[in-house]
Amino acid sequence: MQTPAPFQYERATSVDGAIAALVAHDGDARIIAGGHSLIPMMKLRLASPEHLIDINDLEHELAYIAERDGEIRIGALTRHVDLLGSDLLARHYPLFADAEEVIADPVVRNRGTIGGSLCQADAAEDLSAVCAAVKARVVIRGRDGERTVSMEDFHVGPYQTAVGDDEILTEVRLPLRSGAGSAHFKTERRAGDWAIAAASAAVWIEGGTIADAGVALSAVGTTTIHLARAEELLRGAAPSDELFAQAAQIASEDCSPSADARGPVDYKRHLASVMTRRALRRASARALAMEA
């Protein structure tokens, strides 16, 4: 099936207007941002919304990367290309550029957005793991106001998030803490493809010790995998290859890949481990380089 089912289309002129339209259509409407996930789903008839609410005119409200109140705040309509080129992110959270360099191709990166990526909640998608590793919080707005949720609470299940039918993801917030280092590693079959396995890691090093850590995996489960056990192991320890090898072992144990055209289960578990080890090594090296 290559054509979507019929739908009505409207362009929002404000975030509140988009929310009002979602409310008015009572569960039959979907937001469209870059359209790089939703349109293919509609063509395959995996999604058949009766109404599309286009938010692409809301760049003044929803497209920005800014430092405010001890956080980096990223508007939901910020495109991949702008995440890739951001000096602010490169300085504090270089794993964004690591990931963006290997997300799809320039055509997708010019239109696709961080909000669309997170709300799609595809387990193979890179930015959910990135945001989980850096302990981002996301702002969700509905008719009754805003709420802020952690990435733990944001991922509800495969292709499911905490964003309700009549709500919009408006912002992603990243904590700014000293001693941070981060990295994202991905293995793909060919340039521009989805991951066979990918790992995002962040560490916060204070006085030679890992004060806090975040590790998450893409493409090796039905949702983004938050490696809580590995984070527990890393917290309070001195960074070392042995420690990262133990965390990598946990990654291979705590993921749950399925066999498909990208490879068998044992290969994916192995990749999850290798990607985790590399991401932790580089994250730690970056944190120590910032300290020096």
Ligand X SMILES: Cc1cc2nc3c(=O)[nH]c(=O)nc-3n(C[C@H](O)[C@H](O)[C@H](O)COP(=O)(O)OP(=O)(O)OC[C@H]3O[C@@H](n4cnc5c(N)ncnc54)[C@H](O)[C@@H]3O)c2cc1C
Residue 78 binds ligand X, judged by CB under 6 A: no
Is 200 among the residues that bind ligand X (CB under 6 A)? no
98 counts as binding ligand X under rule CB under 6 A: no
Distance CA 264, CA 257 (A): 8
**Shortest Cβ 265–ligand X spacing (Å):** 21
Min dist CB 42 to ligand X, Å, is 9
Residue 199, interface with ligand X (CB under 6 A)?
no
* Residue among 169, 250, 275, 280 that touches ligand X (CB under 6 A): 169
Tell me if 120 contacts ligand X by CB under 6 A. Answer: yes
Q: How far is CA 178 from CA 61, 108, 205, 231, 248, in A?
A: 29, 33, 8, 18, 25
Shorter beta-carbon distance to ligand X: residue 118 or 230: 118
Contact between 166 and ligand X by CB under 6 A: the answer reads no
| Window 233-272: residues binding ligand X (CB under 6 A) | none
How many C-beta neighbours within 10 Å does residue 111 have? 16
Binding test (CB under 6 A) with ligand X, winner from 108, 149, 228, 290 = 108
Q: Which is nearer to ligand X, 216 or 234 (CB)?
A: 216
Contacting residue, 58, 65, 103, 255, with ligand X by CB under 6 A: 103
User: Residues in the site for ligand X, rule: CB under 6 A?
Assistant: 30-38, 76, 103-104, 108, 112-113, 115-117, 119-120, 125-127, 163, 168-169, 194
